[in-house]
Structures are given as structure tokens and as C-alpha cells.
Structure 1
Amino acid sequence: MKKFLNQLQFDAKRLFLRNPQYTFFAIAMPIGFYILFTKVMSFGTASELTAFARSYMGSMIVYSVVIGALFSLAALMQHDRQVGLVQTLQLTPSGTTYYYASLITLMGLLNALSALAIMLVAVFVNQVALSLTTGLGVLVIAVLGSIPLMILGVLYSRVQSVELLNVLSNLTSFPLAIISGLWWPLNLLPTWAQAIGKVTPTYLTNHLLTRFLAGQSLPAHDMMGIAGWAGGMIILLFVLATWQKKAKVVIQHGSKESQASVQ
């Protein structure tokens, strides 16, 4: 437990104190979108605006999770690989267990902080009524729904090039926000796009939040879908890690044979 707490403290300083732009980006950008769409670009009666502010709050919470996973987590873990931190930890008796557990814990905390910040903005700016129980429920759904996206961030972190990671993150986050209905209603998209959007983990999480905020039952289909995405991402991550490990061994073996032939 002490080793985990030490790793947690070390990673917390790197994530929150030494790279405040990541935290600011993951929290401030969704808040900016939320205020823009609910206070500037929305029209209707008072009751319609209140209902929209409540539902759009869930959308921006999910969007903040996307940013945190695909930009903050992926960039941090890629940097750790490039400077040799992960390789060094693999040689220690504890391995990388505490490292990954620490980052997952901190990203869960970042997602919870982002969700809490957006809920506070909704309450004080748009007068959205939220009870303590409802707020806690939103935090739980947001954190659980972030698991597939965090695994995707870990998967992207294995990309060698910083430029390629930025391209992948941008090409994933913004289209994902659009096709899953986070920025505007899904029914505005073509039928084929709606069909794709409804199976994305972002839509499933947002749908759970929407129903929960409306006091409705949570569909088991959505929860199973999120679990399925998480399982699929884990399998894909394992396959990629195994392939990269074998490729590295082949390259090292070929290098040794080249050196031997030269000698």
C-alpha cells in the first residue's frame, strides 16, 4: 500500500502540478462549450431551456472524459515511454502494476473533478436543480463510463510519434463527439450515422446520464455495451503489446546477427 501511495503522489504532481494545462484543458474546454450552447446558442421557453441545460450538462461531462483520456492520459503515458520510465519500472520487483493503478486512479479523479465542475456551473449559471444523491450518481456513471475511453488512451499512448498521437486524438475525439450526439442532437445526423453513434461508448454513457437525470431506469443494454467496449479495448491492447514485444525481439535479434556477420 505504501508503494502505491508513493507512486500516486509522484504521478499526481506530474499530472496536476507540473502539467496544469492538461487539467485546465480537460475541464475548461467542456465548461466553455456548455456555457456557449446553453447561454448563447439556445432558444425556447424557460422550461425548455432548463431541460436543455440539464441534459446538455451530461453531454459535456462525457466530452470532458473524452478529452482527459485521449489527450491528457495518452500524452502522459507516451512521454513516460519515450523517456524510459515505463521500461525502468518493468525492471523493478513491483513492475508497472502500481504505475498503471496510480494513473487510472488519478484519471478517475480528474474525470470526477471535471464532472463536478460542470455540475456546479449548471447549478449556478443555469439554475439546474441537483440533489446530492443525483450528483453522486452522475459522478459514478461518468467514472465508470470513462473506462473504455481511458483504455483507448492507453492504447494510443503506445504510438511512437508525438505528432501521430495528436492526429489520432483529434481525429477520434471531435468526430466521436459529433457522431454520438454530444455537441448537438443525434437526430440531426443521417440515419446511418445515428446507427453508428448509438453503439459508441460515449453515446451509451451519455444516454445513461440522460435517463438518470430524468429519473428513469438505467438500461442494462447500455451498461453491457460499455462493458463490452472495455473488454474489447483490453483485448486489443494486449494484442498490440504482444505484437510490439515480438517485433522488438525480432529487431534486436536481427541487429545482433548483423553485428556478428560484420565481425
Structure 2
Amino acid sequence: MTNYLYQLKINFKRIILRNKAFFLFDMLLPIVFYLLYTKILPSGVSQQQLQTWNKDYLISMMIYGCLLGSIITTANTLLNDQTSNFKVFISLKPISKFQYYSSLIAIFVTLNLIASITISITGILINEITLPISSIIKIILTNTIGTIPLILIGIMISFAKRPELVNLLTNLIVFPLAIISGLWWPIEMMPKWLQAFGKLLPTYQLSTIDKTFLNHTDLNWFAFINILIWFGIFSLLLLLINKLQGHFGVTK
């Protein structure tokens, strides 16, 4: 247990405290998008419509920030561990591969928590959004836990091992996922067939859960089930890829 806590401490320092890219990319980019789409672009709408839009888009950018951290930051951190031989250093320590990955997941969840809090504070201060503290806490915790399936995607992408391929895969997944699930603009603006596909994605269902807390409506249990199913699928894929790499003698 002591070794595991020590590993958590190391990861917290190198991934959170010393990771400037996280603060500049995972948090600043969603904040810029939020300010752009709520302060600059909206015109010709009533004050009531604007308030609703400001709240809805805040949810989208909180999820988008977690999406960036879960996939891009996760994949690049693990890739860097491989290329810098940090994993070799870990293998010499009395810590299992499961402890290595679980400690990293705990840190990436913490990153998503920080991103969600920071972006929500931006909405509250800049757009004077008023929400009960209980609703804000529920939304932040839901985003933090609900993006764990996305972290599994980041882990799988890191197995590509080549920086150019990892960057290509993260871009091919993150930005289409954000667009199709309606994080950048309302999903209703898309073709019906694309809407049907987008509504199956975990990021869309996560926003659905958040908005039940935002609007104080009944929970959508299908959204919870959807995210659990995606978690199960990604977990199985991760185990399968890991097993295949071991079978073919590929160094993880």
C-alpha cells in the first residue's frame, strides 16, 4: 500500500503539478470556446434564451475539457512513459502493472475533476450563472466519474507506441466525438441519421445526465446504462489488446 501511495504521489507531481500542457490545452481551450459561443457569437436572442444557452453550453464545455484530458492527455502521458523508459523504472519497483494503470487512472480522474471545477467557475463568474451548490457538485462529480470510459480509450490509443500514430488517432476520435455528440453546437443542427448515431455516444449521454441535474428533471436511466455499456465494451477491448500484445510478444 505504501508503494502504491508513493506511485500516486509521483504521478500527481509529474502529471498535474508539472504538466503545463494540461492547463493550457485541457482547460484553456474549452474556456475559450465557452467565451466565444456565449459572449461573442450570440445575437438576436432574448435574455432568457441566452441564460439557458449559457448553462447548456457550460455543460458541453465541461464535458469537452474532460474529453481532451481523458483521451489526449492520457494517451500522450502513457506514450511518454514508454518512450522515456519510465515504465521500465516502474517495473523495477514492487508495484504491479495493475497498480501502475490504476494509479494513473486515479490521476486522470483528478485532472477531469480540476477541469470541471475550473470551467464551471468560469461560467459562474463570467456569465453570472446561478445554480444550487448541490446541482453544481452533482454535475462535476458526474462528469468526473462518467468520463472514465474515455480514459480507457486513451490507454488503448497509447498502445500504438508511435507518436505520429497516437496523435492521429486522438485527433480522429476526439474532435469527431465532440462534434457528433453535440458538444460544439446543438445536435439538432445535424442530419437525422447523424443525430441518431450521436445520441448513442457516451459524451451525449453524459450531457443528458448533467442536464437532468441542471433542470431538476427526472434522471434518464438509459443514459446511465449507456455509459456502463460503453465502459464494459472499452474494458473488454483493453483486456483483449493487452492479451494480444502479450501473445505476440509485443512490449507493453
Q: Normalised by the size of structure 2, how large is the TM-score? A: 0.94
Q: Report which stretch shifted further, 240-249 or 215-224.
A: 240-249
What is the CA deviation profile of residues 37-69 of structure 1, one whole-angstrom value per residue up to 9, with x for unaligned ones?
A: 011111311111111101111100110111001
For 2:242 and 2:180, how far apart are their aligned partners in 1?
Answer: 29
Q: Residue 23 of structure 1 contacts residue 110 of structure 1 at CA under 8 Å; is this kept in 2?
A: no
1:151-202 deviations in Å (ceiling 9; x for gaps) = 1011111111101111111111111111000011111101111011000011
Aligned amino acid, residue 122 of structure 1: G
Residue 149 (structure 1) shift:
0.3
Alpha-carbon distance in structure 1 between the residues aligned to 2:4 and 2:225: 30
One-letter code aligned to 2:114: L
The CA RMSD over aligned residues, in Å, is 1.5
Query: Do the aligned residues in 1 keep the contact of 2:135 with 2:214 (CA within 8 Å)?
Result: yes
* Aligned mates of 2:92, 2:248 — CA distance in 1: 20
- Unaligned 5+ segments in structure 1 are 252-263
Partner residue in 2 for 1:197: 198
Structure 2: which amino acid aligns with 1:222? A
Amino acid at match of 1:23: F
| C-alpha distance in 1 between matches for 2:94 and 2:175 | 40
Verify: 1:154 aligned to 2:155, yes or no: yes
- Larger CA Rg, structure 1 vs 2: 1
Q: Deviations over 1:67-105 (max 9, x none)?
A: 001211110011112233334534544212332222111
Deviation at 1:24, TM superposition (A): 2.3
- Give, in whole Å, the separation in 2 of the partners of 1:92 and 1:3: 8
Q: Which residue of 1 aligns with 2:25?
A: 25
| Structure 1 residue aligned with 2:8 | 8
Give the aligned length. Answer: 250
- Please, which runs of 5 or more residues in structure 2 have no aligned partner? none
TM-score (norm 1): 0.91
- The one-letter amino acid paired with 1:109 is T
